Amino acid sequence: MEALRHTTAITRRAAVGVLGAAGLGFAVLGPRPRKDAPGGRVVLDYWEKWTGQEGRAMQRLVDRYNASQDRVFVRYFAMAGIGQKALIAIAGGDPPDIIGLWNFNIPAYAEAGALVALDELAAEFGIRREDYAAAVWPLLTHRDRLWGVVSTCGTVALYYNRAMFREAGLDPDRPPRTIDEFDEYNRRLTVVEGGSGGEGRRLARVGFIHTEPGWWSWLWGYFFGGTLYDGARDRATAASAENVAGYRWVQSYAERYGADALISFQSGLGVYGSAQNAFILGKVAMVNQGPWLVNTIVQYKPGMEYAVAPFPVEAGVYDAQRPIGLLDSDVLVIPRGTRHPREAMAFIAFTQRRENIEQLSREHCKNSPLAASSPEFLSSHPNPFVHVHDAIAQSPRAFVFPRTRTWPEYEKEFNAGMQRMWRLQEPAAGALERIQDRAQAQLDDAALRRTRRAELRGERA
């Protein structure tokens, strides 16, 4: 028994000693705040989604800002899953000072009061609506207030392989303008091996496939004059006649070549940002893509012959002066709870100077969000067709993600519906009706929650 007590006593002491030593070691040798910020400056933390080449470009801009003045020091942190991390940091009351989000995050974050409204600050720092392309400002606003500032943007256009056009007897300087022309081009560019039917018939190359790379399954109705959301009435409009026409057109490809054949063909296509990119590899002759595709072309197939044009539209809505195309953008926001909103805004304003935003856009291989690009920007851009993207951004018919906080759910519904339509499991009209019903239920639910919160705030007031 005595021996046991003796053992216990020694173990206890040893354990306390080890714990004490560990604590001391942690205190002496443990993590320290980074000392890369010069003393006496206000330090701002900036969280961004960009890594690699895009991250380095933003880091250079941050470095220029840090060198341009001696009052504020910005620290750039690149991270994956920034949407979730920002959400948790803001909810936990310990957000960074600046966050680089996707534009579709704005409605949800703004409605939740998670962002600092920038109307007054932006005006004070000289950020004005008229300085930006027409479609950009709506991306940054929600319920008539400004919640973010664009960092980079890109419009989506038709990239086509000029060599394949020539080989198919098509004029590479005359890209298709209407859907009918596009279908004819597609027919001539598509190569089917193994005869006209029966066993062994397979697609060796397609002119175009709507699901490659499949990032925006929801946009095809826009090329027929449709939209997905009526913000004024808070209504989902997926089942409009224009959208039904758009998705009947999508289904016509599956009917022509066989849904199974197209799905099988696509499963053999490589990763987008690699040498196996379907467009670069010549498996697909035309793709609907942003200006950043040129980064991949330059890296893996620098001599590739390609050209860019606005994506074709249904003949009834064609207007050469007002092309239709998606404008996607990244935004800089100041989260609720930051201690230095003015300093954060000063940095954001710095990024918006023409020379800075154009340099960042150039290094990201994107078009500029400004109302007018400088001649130097257009001439020195790595994408020789950036003017096409620029023209789409300036067009009054450039469209953006539906501006509702339920968009992530709506998009999930759309992706599932698109897969049914693509497999010809459901007619376009029925699938879109179902998507619209579900999206509307989500919108109604969000409205109910909004009202409940408003009432609660009213009662408290």
Residues within window 315-344 making contact with another protein, judged by CB under 8 A: none
Instruction: Kindly state whether residue 449 participates in binding another protein, applying the rule CB under 8 A.
Output: yes
Q: Binding residue for another protein (CB under 8 A) from 117, 250, 263, 281?
A: 263
Residues within window 362-421 making contact with another protein, judged by CB under 8 A: 405-406, 408-409, 412, 415-416, 419-420
Are 431 and 421 a contacting pair, CB within 8 Å?
yes
Handedness of CA 67, 69, 75, 80 (dihedral sign): negative
User: Which CB, 49 or 405, lies closer to another protein?
Assistant: 405
Q: Binding residue for another protein (CB under 8 A) from 7, 264, 274, 374?
A: 264
Binding marks (x or -) toward another protein, 99..138, rule CB under 8 A?
Answer: ---------xx--xxx------------------------
User: Which CB, 325 or 417, lies closer to another protein?
Assistant: 417
Min dist CB 120 to another protein, Å, is 22
Side-chain-side CA neighbours of residue 445 (13 Å): 11
Min dist CB 27 to another protein, Å, is 18
User: Which CB, 123 or 454, lies closer to another protein?
Assistant: 454
Rounded to the nearest 10°, the torsion over CA 258, 262, 265, 271 is 180
Rounded to the nearest 10°, the torsion over CA 74, 79, 84, 90 is -20
Instruction: Kindly state whether residue 267 participates in binding another protein, applying the rule CB under 8 A.
Output: yes
Binding marks (x or -) toward another protein, 168..207, rule CB under 8 A?
Answer: -------------------------------xx-------
Are 150 and 140 a contacting pair, CB within 8 Å?
yes
Q: Binding residue for another protein (CB under 8 A) from 87, 98, 189, 333?
A: 87
User: Which CB, 252 or 264, lies closer to another protein?
Assistant: 264
C-alpha R_g of the chain: 27
Instruction: Kindly state whether residue 9 participates in binding another protein, applying the rule CB under 8 A.
Output: yes
User: Which CB, 114 or 324, lies closer to another protein?
Assistant: 114
Task: Tokens for 116, please give them.
Answer: 């600092």
Min dist CB 399 to another protein, Å, is 22
Min dist CB 285 to another protein, Å, is 18
User: Which CB, 52 or 200, lies closer to another protein?
Assistant: 200
Min dist CB 405 to another protein, Å, is 8
Q: Site for another protein (CB under 8 A): how many residues?
A: 39
Instruction: Kindly state whether residue 439 participates in binding another protein, applying the rule CB under 8 A.
Output: no
Min dist CB 116 to another protein, Å, is 13
Region of 144-152, 184-192, 241-249, 451-459 interacting with another protein (CB under 8 A) = 451-459
CA angle 306–133–162, rounded 5-degree value: 5
Instruction: Kindly state whether residue 268 participates in binding another protein, applying the rule CB under 8 A.
Output: yes
Which residue in this structure is represented by tokens 């197939």?
A: 301
Instruction: Kindly state whether residue 250 participates in binding another protein, applying the rule CB under 8 A.
Output: no
Min dist CB 412 to another protein, Å, is 7
Q: Which of 264, 226, 228 is nearest to 245 (CA)?
A: 226
For binding to another protein (CB under 8 A), which residues are involved? 5-6, 9, 83-84, 87-88, 90-91, 108-109, 112-114, 199-200, 260, 263-268, 405-406, 408-409, 412, 415-416, 419-420, 423, 425, 438, 449, 452-453, 456
